[in-house]
Amino acid sequence: EAQVTQNPRYLITVTGKKLTVTCSQNMNHEYMSWYRQDPGLGLRQIYYSMNVEVTDKGDVPEGYKVSRKEKRNFPLILESPSPNQTSLYFCASSLIGGRAFFGQGTRLTVV
């Protein structure tokens, strides 16, 4: 089954404690991206990757890192999380120009 898998689905952490949210897709898609969803703001792109070792900033990259060492994986790293990063996060993948497939979302709370 074609899918994008994010882990964990829920995470509560403390300020400053490094965390990684994993994202994996099984469709051999070149393009992968991360979005955050906040009430009243819709979804905003954090980072994206056009292919292995090719990443770039989206609209709200501050406080986040990503890497793309393998085509199927695109982890989101928060080196020092802060409460303003409490949000719902989505990973998405697609062929270049194709339909986007979304993961199930990760609800992150930073206290």
Give the integer Cα–Cα distance in Å for 36 and 104.
13
**Among residue numbers 19 through 78, which ones bind another protein (CB under 8 A)?**
31, 33, 35, 40-45, 48, 50, 54, 56, 58
Nearer to another protein, 22 or 37 (CB): 37
Identity of the residue numbered 17: K
Q: Is the peptide bond before 8 cis (omega within 30 degrees of 0)?
A: yes
Contact between 6 and 106 under an 8 Å Cβ cutoff? The reply is yes
Chain positions contacting another protein, by CB under 8 A: 31, 33, 35, 40-45, 48, 50, 54, 56, 58, 88, 90, 92, 94, 96-97, 99-100, 102, 104-105, 107
